Amino acid sequence: MNTLLRFLLIAFCVPAFISCKHPSHTKVERAFYYWKSNGHQLQDNEETYLRKLHVQKLYVKFFEVGYDNTFGIIPTSKTDFYYYNYWNDSDIVLQQMHIIPTIYIKNEIFFKSSKAGLDSLADNILFLTNKYYKNLIRSSYEERMNKEKAAYDELQIDCDWTATTRENYFYLLKSLKRQSNKIISCTLRLYPYKYQTKMGMPPVDKATLMCYNLINPLKNENKNSILDLNEFKTYLNVGKKYPLHLDIALPVYSWMQCYQNNHFTGMIYHDNASILKVLEPVDELWYQVTKDTVIDDLYLRVGDKIKYEAITPEKLNKAIALIKDNVQLDNTSTIAFFHLDGTNLKQISYETLDSLYTDFSK
């Protein structure tokens, strides 16, 4: 092969190879997580966000699985979400939206689990999930719309597994797949995404990369523990494609950490606007209480310190740019925001969320 021909072949193949690794356009499926354990219906603005943004998927936490010293492995924090309240002839977006049952499993249960116990747990998870889906979603839809809606086709498992519990957790995922014959997906924290050899690849059909909660909120005084961009970038820079199909989840929430005499006393997850009225800034991320105030079960006294961690549109735009530069997505990916909460969503507009979804497809 002469030199000119070899050069032309290389010049043609290299761009083609690069374009295959990095699709120029990603088709985005819009999604939200719904992570409430109380309340049985959407707030007005939550419903409006779903409609205006044409959300296609809603990951609903059905229940959690934890360990009790008396009863062993048990479901907790069950949802009261009755989705059928929102079916009517005009709700085209809600009619077509896929509900994906999502189960949070505490890592502690895998330390004492046998293979037989995990098979039994998988059976119990599927039984309870099917029951919830039928009672809370499917049957009432059939009654009101006089048509049949197929059962859910995907089950997502959320667990912050470790290298020590990996074997048992992966066994449970395999058992769920074997017993359900459904699409099994899981959440993927940034640590196992970066350290693939140490943490292993979960035996699922696809995974959602959770792009938030990077660091311990109580041990990093000067960093936003929900999303610190410098920390975020170090986790993304792995230099290779993850072996599974990846979807993406980004945060649209904020919280406040409360301290009295430098001792942590609790978290505030909502009503930030009213609390800010009694705070004065003392440092980056930090505020001081200027008036005695009661929020939920917390009594804030004058002089107490508050660390306010919020997510801004600017921070999300930069996070998306980092993801696009470092994470190799497939031609179609689900982009989900965590989570659908009317109070926190007041801090971000429809237009902003719409543009964030759109950024992934550019």
SS3 track for 40-90: CCCCHHHHHHHHHCCCCEEEEEEEEEEEECCCEEEEECCCCCCHHHHCCCC
* Residue 195: count of CB within 10 angstroms of its CB: 13
Dihedral sign for Cα atoms in the order 109, 70, 68, 39: positive
Q: How confident is the model at residue 91 (pLDDT cuts 50, 70, 90)?
A: low
pLDDT by residue (tens digit) across 302-316? 999 999 999 999 999
Percent of the chain with pLDDT over 90: 67
Other beta carbons within 10 angstroms of residue 343's beta carbon come to 16
The DSSP bridge pattern shows strands 98-105 and 154-158 to be parallel
Identify the structural domains of the chain with CATH numbers, from first to last: 26-252+314-359 (3.20.20.80), 255-309 (no CATH)
What is the C-alpha separation between 30 and 357, in angstroms, rounded? 7
Provide the mean pLDDT of the chain: 87
- The per-residue pLDDT for 146 is 45
Give the tens place of pLDDT for each residue, 180-215. Answer: 999 999 999 999 999 999 999 999 999 999 999 988
Region 327-339: mean pLDDT is 96
Looking at the chain, how many residues does it have? 362
Q: What is the pLDDT of residues 33-75, one digit of tens each?
A: 999 887 667 888 898 999 999 999 999 999 999 999 999 999 9
Q: Per 3-state DSSP, what percentage of the chain is helix, strand, and coil (rounded to 5)? A: 40, 25, 35
**Exposed/middle/buried for 102, CB within 10 Å: 0-12, 13-18, 19+?**
buried
148 vs 245, residue with greater confidence: 245
The DSSP call for residue 227 is -
pLDDT on residue 86: 58
Task: Write down the pLDDT at residue 142.
Answer: 52
Reported as a pLDDT band with limits 50, 70 and 90, residue 145 is: low
What the block records as the tokens of 221 is 């005084």
Instruction: State the pLDDT confidence band at 120, using cuts at 50, 70 and 90.
Output: very high
Report whether pLDDT(12) > 50: no
pLDDT band with cut points at 50, 70 and 90 for residue 4: very low
Tokens of 46: 């939550």
CA distance 95 to 212: 30
pLDDT at 280 over 90: yes
To the nearest 10°, the Cα dihedral for 111, 119, 101, 214?
20
